[in-house]
Amino acid sequence: MQNINEIEELIKVISKLPGLGPKSAKRIVLKLMNNKDELIKPMAKALADVYKNISRCNICGILKSNTIQCNYSNCEITGSEYDKICVVENISDQWSVESSSIFKGYFHILGGTISSADKNKDELLINSLVERVKIGKIKEVILATSATVEGQTTAFYIQDSLKNTNVKISKLAQGLPVGGEIENLDDGTLISAFKNRQSFKK
Ligand SMILES: [Zn+2]
């Protein structure tokens, strides 16, 4: 392959995507080059639109259109009012819980776990979770962090942060395999983990 800077650059960027290495990145770039109008053009537009119009809310962590203003009492514009918040580590976890249809309420996406090397507690939106609970009409916070050491450490830290509120705190327990990451669970396991959630003892 002759060295074309633009192509090399594209391969480099695509190979950083999850599940892709240089080899599959090359295959993707070839496919794109052979379908410039059908693939590259709409993809470039879609990427530019997402880059320009969508960002993570710095209060609740969800992905949202920049035209929507989040605030502590009504962070997600869902069209409904809820009294529950489900706390998850990542947006992919939110999508898994949503697709299982077991949970009706708001989400709070931490963006990682406490022991993730590059995350400190402020970055994990835990302070804003406490604010949401205090200001909103929230009756229950469901901690749906992974059954990993980091996930459980994070859950305990959040429980401690919420100890001066009256909110009920529960966490997914039964049915969640040890080491289980929320996004990798099948719907059945996730639904049973939600149904059998246990209250934290205060
Ligand atoms: Zn928000």
pLDDT in tens, 88-108: 999 999 999 998 888 989 999
CA distances from 24 to 3, 9, 83 (A): 18, 14, 45
Query: What's 116's DSSP letter?
Result: S
Q: What spacing in Å lies between the alpha carbon of 57 and ligand 1's midpoint?
A: 5
Residue 177 is predicted with a pLDDT of 66
From residue 119, give the alpha-carbon distance in Å to each of 7, 70, 111, 126: 34, 23, 9, 12
SS3 19: coil
Q: Ligand 1 centre and the CA of 52: distance in Å?
A: 18
Q: In what order do the strands lie in the sheet with 168-171?
A: 106-109, 84-88, 140-143, 168-171, 198-199
How far does residue 135's CA lie from ligand 1's centre (Å)?
13
Output the CA 107–ligand 1 centroid distance in Å.
9
Strands 54-56 and 63-65: antiparallel
Round to whole Å and give the CA distance between 9 and 88. Answer: 34
105 Cβ contact list (under 8 Å, min separation 6): 82, 83, 84, 85, 86, 142
For residue 109, the CA-to-ligand 1 centroid distance in Å is 9
CATH of 63-199, one of 3.20.20.70, 3.40.1360.10, 3.30.390.30, 3.30.420.40: 3.40.1360.10
Do the domains at 5-55 and 63-199 have one common CATH topology? Answer: no
Mean pLDDT by 10 residues, the chain (202 residues): 87 93 94 96 97 92 86 61 91 91 91 72 85 87 89 89 92 68 81 82 61
| Residues contacting 160, CB < 8 A, separation 6+ | none
Top-level class of domain 5-55: mainly alpha
Which tokens sit at 88?
């998850």
Ligand 1 centroid, distance to 76 Cα (angstroms): 6
> 84-88 and 140-143 as β-strands: parallel, antiparallel, unpaired?
parallel
Q: Which residues surround ligand 1, an ion (CB under 5 A)?
A: 57, 59-60, 70, 75
Cα separation of 83 and 179, whole Å? 29
- Please list the alpha-helical segments (H only) found in 54-167: 91-100, 126-135, 149-161
Q: How far apart are the CA of 54 and the centre of ligand 1, in A?
A: 12
Contact 92, 81 (CB under 8 A): no
pLDDT at res. 201: 64
Q: What is the largest CA-CA distance in the chain?
A: 65
Locate the domains of the chain by residue range. 5-55, 63-199
CA 160, CA 170: separation in Å to the nearest integer? 13
